[in-house]
């Protein structure tokens, strides 16, 4: 007889709740939620974490985690997070925002939170479209991409070019860590997880503002299958939104 000791190799992070999500099939928000929960577990922050949820598809994100949360108005999450963090510096405060929230209506709030070097963390989910309202053009929609508000494709001459927020914010002195990642395959997911962990560790160490952009899919509003969506992300989005770390101070690199 062979004796085997049961060994736990995989389980739900403590920070992740058992609530079923409202996300569409194939949407990568669920993967990103898990990465967030793993990082918080890993850094031992569950008991002092406050999530600031956005308006958009992640509006109910607080249902899917076990920590406290505040639901912000559209785009205002970095200001709300600033308010929490300034009165309670020992809390771990992060925002989870989509591209419409962060790169359109909330540009002032994200730029100035970054410029002040607020000691908060930002998870920026970029899927190049407005998901919750049914697929309108986002500030990150690619040129030529069809949406319900660009029915013949985004035209450069009328709607301009999609904003690369991470590169833009990396020009500021405030941020200590700024990276763009993706979740289109397991290797990319692993790197995204590591980046989120580093960003969160920056706050824990008191270093300052850190942001991780995560390229994400929207099969429903892109009109693609989940598998084709992952391909579209890789083939179309990554060329416009190159992956990488745009800002890393020596202290952030040492984490």
Partner 1 sequence: MLTRVLMKGNEAFAEGAIRAGCDAYFGYPITPQTELLEYMARRMPELGRVFVQAESEIAAINMVIGAAASGARVMTSSSSPGISLKQEGISYLAGCELPAVIVNVMRGGPGLGNVAPAQGDYFQATKGGGHGVYHSIVLAPASAQEAMDLTALSFDLADRYRTPVMVLADGVVGQIMEPVVLREYEKAVDLPAKDWKAGYNSGRKKNIILSISLEPEVLEGRNKKLVEKYDLIEEREVRWKGHYLEDARLAVVAFGTSARVALTAVRMARAEGLAAGILRPITLFPFPEREIAELASRVDGLVVVEMNQGQMLEDVERVAAGKVGVRFVGRLGGMVPSPEEVLAALRGFEEAAR
Binding site for partner 1 (CB under 8 A): 46-50, 52, 59, 62, 65-73, 76, 79-88, 91, 108-109, 111-112, 116
Cβ proximity to partner 1, 86 vs 190, nearer residue = 86
Cβ proximity to partner 1, 75 vs 193, nearer residue = 75
Instruction: Please report which residue ranges of the chain form alpha helices under DSSP H.
Output: 29-42, 77-87, 99-100, 107-116, 156-159, 165-170, 186-204, 219-222, 226-232, 238-240, 250-253
Smallest separation (angstroms) from partner 1 to the CB of 18: 13
Cβ proximity to partner 1, 67 vs 177, nearer residue = 67
Q: Which residues pair with 121 in a beta bridge?
A: 94, 210
HEC string of 99-124? HHHHHHHCHHHHHHHHHHCCCCEEEE
Smallest separation (angstroms) from partner 1 to the CB of 89: 10
Tokens of 6: 């049961």
Smallest separation (angstroms) from partner 1 to the CB of 83: 2
Cβ proximity to partner 1, 112 vs 191, nearer residue = 112
Q: Which residues pair with 177 in a beta bridge?
A: 210, 248
Q: Which residues lie closer than 8 Å to 93 by C-beta, 6 or more apart?
A: 49, 50, 52, 81, 84, 85, 120, 121, 203
Smallest separation (angstroms) from partner 1 to the CB of 179: 24
Neighbours of 87 (CB within 10 A): 8
Smallest separation (angstroms) from partner 1 to the CB of 98: 16
Cβ proximity to partner 1, 47 vs 235, nearer residue = 47
Q: How far is CA 130 from the centre of its chain?
A: 15
């Amino acid at each position: 007889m062979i004796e085997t000791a049961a060994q736990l190799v995989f389980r739900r992070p403590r920070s992740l709740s058992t609530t079923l999500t409202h996300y569409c099939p194939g949407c990568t928000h669920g993967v990103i939620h898990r990465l967030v929960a793993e990082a918080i577990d890993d850094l031992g922050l569950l008991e002092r974490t406050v999530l600031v949820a956005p308006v958009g598809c992640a509006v109910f994100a607080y249902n899917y985690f076990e920590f406290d949360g505040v639901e912000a108005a559209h785009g205002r999450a970095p200001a709300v997070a600033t308010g929490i963090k300034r009165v309670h510096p020992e809390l771990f405060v992060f925002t989870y925002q989509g591209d419409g929230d962060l790169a359109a209506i909330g540009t002032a709030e994200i730029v100035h939170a970054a410029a002040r070097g607020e000691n908060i963390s930002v998870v920026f989910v970029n899927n190049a479209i407005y998901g919750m309202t049914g697929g309108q053009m986002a500030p990150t929609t690619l040129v030529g991409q069809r949406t319900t508000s660009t029915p013949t494709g985004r035209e450069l001459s009328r709607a301009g070019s999609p904003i690369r927020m991470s590169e833009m914010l990396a020009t500021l002195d405030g941020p200590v860590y700024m990276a763009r990642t993706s979740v289109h395959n397991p290797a990319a997911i692993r790197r995204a997880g590591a980046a989120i962990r580093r960003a969160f560790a920056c706050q824990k160490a008191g270093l300052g503002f850190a942001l991780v952009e995560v390229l994400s899919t929207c099969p429903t509003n892109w009109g693609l299958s989940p598998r084709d969506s992952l391909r579209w992300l890789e083939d179309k989005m990554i060329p416009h939104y190159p992956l990488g770390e745009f800002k890393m101070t020596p202290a952030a690199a040492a984490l």
